[in-house]
Amino acid sequence: MTDQDLDLAYTAVCHALAEAGPQQAQRLLAMLCLALLVRFDRAEDVLPVIESVRQRAAEP
The predicted-structure confidence for 15-31, as pLDDT tens digits, reads as follows 999 999 999 999 999 99
Half-sphere exposure of 39 (CA within 13 A, CB side): 5
The DSSP-derived string for 4-20 is HHHHHHHHHHHHHHHHH
pLDDT for 54: 96
pTM as predicted: 0.83
pLDDT for 58: 96
The CA-CA-CA angle for residues 60, 33, 55, to 5°, reads: 25
Number of domains making up the chain: 1
pLDDT for 32: 98
b/e 4-27 (16+ beta carbons within 10 angstroms → b)? eeeeeeeeeeeeebeeeeeeeeee
Domain that residue 50 falls in: 3-58
